[in-house]
Amino acid sequence: MADSPITTVLQEALALHRRGAVAEAAARYAEVLRGDPANADAHYYLATISCQQGRFAEGADLARKSLAGEPHHARAHVLLGRALSALGQHEDALASFERAIAIAPELALAHGHRADVLSELGRTAEAIESYDRALGLAPEVIEDWFNRGVALAAAGRQGEAVTSFERAIAGKPDFAEAHLRRAKALSDLRRYDEALAGVDRALALAPDHAEAWLGRGNVLTDLKRYDEALAAHDRALALEPGLAAAWLGRGNVLRELQRYDDASAAYERALTLAPDLCEAILGRGNVFFELKRYDDALAAYDRALVLNPDLAKAWHGRANVLTALRHYDQAFADYDKALALTPDLAEAWVGRGYALFSINRYPEALACFDKAISLDKELAQSHFNKSLVKLALGEYQEGWRLYEWRWETRLAASATRNFTQPLWLGDAELGNRTILVCSEQGFGDTLQFFRYLPLLNKLNCKVIFESHASLVPLLKERNESIQIVSKGDALPHFDLQCPLMSLPLAFKTTLQTIPASIPYLFASEEKLRFWRKMLGARIRPRVGLVWSGNPDYHDDVRRSLPLKTLLGLLGTGVDWHSIQKDIRDSDREFLSNSGLVKDHSNLLNDFSDTAALVSELDLVISVDTAVAHLAGALGKKLWILLSFHSDFRWMCERDDSPWYPTAKLFRQTKDAEWRDVLERVAGELKTFSASPSDVI
């Protein structure tokens, strides 16, 4: 039977459509509709043209007209769903796809588009199931593999997402976006080297892809290659200055570099572009935390949580601030919220462990650090914090080994010395070779661990020690066999190198083998004569006093106290001498007006002066500062006032120190409470003033 004229025109229109002659095809479809206004096929094909050209409202109207003539046209239902989805009418679109599936359950196209809409609606688990159904019917559809990977990544199933993206890439090797998404999933899995290779492949395919440069910057940040990361973010911003995520990434890099003002400016730029970008608000909070602007940090975290109450990192940041403020119960509540939302947030386990460590709950702290390590074996802070617990417990073998992780932590990494000479950790012969030892931390650390330098001398090697300039005159006294140079001076030739605080590991130090031959530091005879003359005849026991340390020390609020707090000790039958070089403004007036303590700060030019003064005293009472270490190294009687949670070197629950045999420790029994400490010291002072030679 011959085709009708309308059928013939429709076939001609389809032929034109398939050849890409869209305008001519549309004209012929219109011709069909003039002869048959209810023709479902003509409406359907015109709808496809409208959708392809972005006229989705028109396409939806035409699809409905097609379905009016043929209600069981499954592909027309799919087309209507696509148009509605493009118009943002996702629930209606979903209903259209489901009607198509009810009519034609094996229509892969319907399952794939249904999955797309479910993803838009945030119904990720259902979306993944729908993608799986679509791909089971039509495994060659590359877009479904890609979109399935996106959904899997959103669901936190990064390993499966990588596989899905790889299936998309196998079908389309030049699919730049799939390479980029795969790289992001690999980065989330902490497979950073693979992620970087994936980003670079995406950039090889699309060199001007701003988000690929952003991805590269983020991966390089994870790899701690900060200069390269900054350059990548800058390239992204050169291509797309309004890319808020690149300003966010730039801020994150600058924060890692401790360029806090620049980081804040980058976060502000991100927030100008995207005021509700929670991660940028979070970044500002992190900067404020680093600057110890705790009120500002809390305000930033709270703002982020108003926008997204499920932002685990904001709860974590808030908990860190509360820990720093010593509001531990509140801190634990916030750590628990963070971990309830994201149980594998390793950094929150580290923070919780540190809070527990700060209140001397050592077993619980270790459990948290071990949990963090199980989640991220490369998270340096968890290993380092664990080392502090182990050292405080006297478990030195493991403690010193873990202490080497300090170089991978963000704050210590900036002090790393990139020597080409090999690191020595006791694993090579030193005979007739030269080793450089560098002091790496504060004055107290240098004074404590200088004791290891003579042990190196016994290994038949030449020792060079680089130290703080203000310590050099003291350290040179009676140490002619060690070449001592100041930081910043040109270094002589050396064959091997070792950071000072790695020497306990190199010498396999245990509690029983701590080098404690006291004294190992000495004052010069010339300066001793000066102080003997300055102090005059000894009438009463002389007691040196140190009540505060470096105000920039991260935990100074715990260890230091105002001079007037010590008023109850003063005037108890001894002569008091301040052996602090730096007097805080808040203490200077009291020191001058009370007349109870002789102030020698104007005569203390460096540690050799302090050493000579200390040598002429009968007892030193000090909070945990460098002067305490100096007195211990000089072999003087030493009483150390310790906070409830003290530094690892003083260990825990003991009133003596294996590092300094002449020291006695007075610990707080309650956090931030000095009263009982001072009462015990006052009682000991009564005995001491009566017979100073009998009391340590």
The Cα–Cα gap between 689 and 430 comes to: 49
Query: What are the residue ranges of helices labelled H in 274-358?
Result: 278-290, 294-307, 312-324, 328-341, 346-358
Checking if the pLDDT of 333 tops 50, the result is yes
Question: How far, rounded to the nearest angstrom, does the alpha carbon of residue 615 sit from its chain's CA centroid?
Answer: 44
Residue 371's pLDDT band, with cuts at 50, 70 and 90, is: very high
| Contact partners, residue 509, CB within 8 Å, separation at least 6 | 396, 400, 515
Q: For residue 119, what are its two tokens?
A: 């993803």
Query: Residue 564 has what DSSP assignment?
Result: G
Checking if the pLDDT of 555 tops 90, the result is no
Q: For residue 337, what are its two tokens?
A: 């919220």
Query: Residue 73 has what DSSP assignment?
Result: -
Q: Give the HSE-up count for residue 349: Cα atoms under 13 Å, Cβ half-sphere.
A: 23
Q: Which of 31-40, 376-385, 454-463 has the lowest mean pLDDT?
A: 31-40
Under 8 Å between Cβ of 392 and 651: yes
Q: What integer pLDDT is reported at residue 279 of this predicted model?
A: 96
Summarised one tens digit per residue, pLDDT across range 645-672 is: 999 999 999 999 999 999 999 999 999 9
Q: SS3 breakdown of the chain: % helix, strand, coil, rounded to 5?
A: 60, 5, 30
Under 8 Å between Cβ of 351 and 335: yes
Identify the bridge partners of residue 621 per DSSP, sorted by sequence position. Answer: 545, 639
The Cα–Cα gap between 107 and 162 comes to: 26
Backbone angles phi, psi at 193, to 5 degrees: -65, -40
4: left (phi over 0), alpha (psi -120 to 50) or beta: beta
Summarised one tens digit per residue, pLDDT across range 405-437 is: 999 997 676 677 889 999 999 999 998 999 999
Q: What integer pLDDT is reported at residue 413 of this predicted model?
A: 61
Checking if the pLDDT of 488 tops 50, the result is yes
The Cα–Cα gap between 608 and 613 comes to: 9
Q: Give the HSE-up count for residue 116: Cα atoms under 13 Å, Cβ half-sphere.
A: 23
Question: How far, rounded to the nearest angstrom, does the alpha carbon of residue 96 sit from its chain's CA centroid?
Answer: 47
Summarised one tens digit per residue, pLDDT across range 204-215 is: 999 999 999 999
| Contact partners, residue 691, CB within 8 Å, separation at least 6 | none
Burial class (CB in 10 A: 0-12, 13-18, 19+), 125: exposed
Q: What integer pLDDT is reported at residue 32 of this predicted model?
A: 87
The Cα–Cα gap between 624 and 666 comes to: 11
Under 8 Å between Cβ of 350 and 381: yes
Q: What integer pLDDT is reported at residue 272 of this predicted model?
A: 97
* Mean pLDDT value of segment 477-489: 95
Q: What integer pLDDT is reported at residue 296 of this predicted model?
A: 98
Q: What integer pLDDT is reported at residue 551 of this predicted model?
A: 85
For the beta sheet containing 663-667, the strands, ordered from the edge strand earlier in sequence to the opposite edge, are: 597-599, 575-578, 542-546, 619-623, 638-642, 663-667
Backbone angles phi, psi at 161, to 5 degrees: -60, -45
Checking if the pLDDT of 2 tops 60, the result is no
> Residue 585 carries which side chain, given as an amino acid letter?
D
Checking if the pLDDT of 571 tops 90, the result is no
SS3 376: coil
The Cα–Cα gap between 78 and 98 comes to: 9
Checking if the pLDDT of 677 tops 90, the result is yes
* Mean pLDDT value of segment 478-492: 95
SS (H, E, C) 118-144: HHHCCCHHHHHHHHHHHHHHCCCCHHH
Under 8 Å between Cβ of 475 and 521: yes
The Cα–Cα gap between 119 and 128 comes to: 8
Lookup result for tokens 């590991």: 505
Average pLDDT score over the chain: 94
Summarised one tens digit per residue, pLDDT across range 206-260 is: 999 999 999 999 999 999 999 999 999 999 999 999 999 999 999 999 999 999 9
Checking if the pLDDT of 3 tops 70, the result is no
The Cα–Cα gap between 288 and 686 comes to: 47
Backbone angles phi, psi at 577, to 5 degrees: -130, 125
Q: For residue 421, what are its two tokens?
A: 């000479």
Helix axis angle, 74-86 relative to 56-69, nearest 10°?
160
* Mean pLDDT value of segment 11-15: 86
Summarised one tens digit per residue, pLDDT across range 125-173 is: 999 999 999 999 999 999 999 999 999 999 999 999 999 999 999 999 9
Under 8 Å between Cβ of 78 and 110: yes
> Residue 364 carries which side chain, given as an amino acid letter?
E
The Cα–Cα gap between 445 and 441 comes to: 6
Helix axis angle, 158-171 relative to 142-154, nearest 10°?
160
Lookup result for tokens 């007691």: 543
Q: What integer pLDDT is reported at residue 695 of this predicted model?
A: 46
Of the candidates 432, 546, 542, the residue with the CA atom closest to the CA atom of residue 496: 432
Checking if the pLDDT of 591 tops 60, the result is yes
Summarised one tens digit per residue, pLDDT across range 82-97 is: 999 999 999 999 999 9
* Mean pLDDT value of segment 449-455: 97
The Cα–Cα gap between 411 and 347 comes to: 15
SS3 42: helix
| Cβ density class 41-57: b for 16+ within 10 Å, e for less | bbbbbbbbbbbeeebbe
Output the CA torsion 637→642→645→646 (10° steps): -40
Other beta carbons within 10 Å of 163: 16
Cα-trace Rg, the chain? 36
Of the candidates 606, 631, 625, the residue with the CA atom closest to the CA atom of residue 547: 625
Query: Residue 502 has what DSSP assignment?
Result: G
Residues in the chain: 696
Cis peptide before 504 (omega within 30 of 0): no
The Cα–Cα gap between 214 and 252 comes to: 12
Share of the chain above pLDDT 90, in %: 84
Identify the bridge partners of residue 664 per DSSP, sorted by sequence position. Answer: 639
Helix axis angle, 176-188 relative to 192-205, nearest 10°?
170
Q: Give the HSE-up count for residue 562: Cα atoms under 13 Å, Cβ half-sphere.
A: 9
Q: For residue 117, what are its two tokens?
A: 């809409």
Under 8 Å between Cβ of 655 and 667: yes
The Cα–Cα gap between 648 and 629 comes to: 14
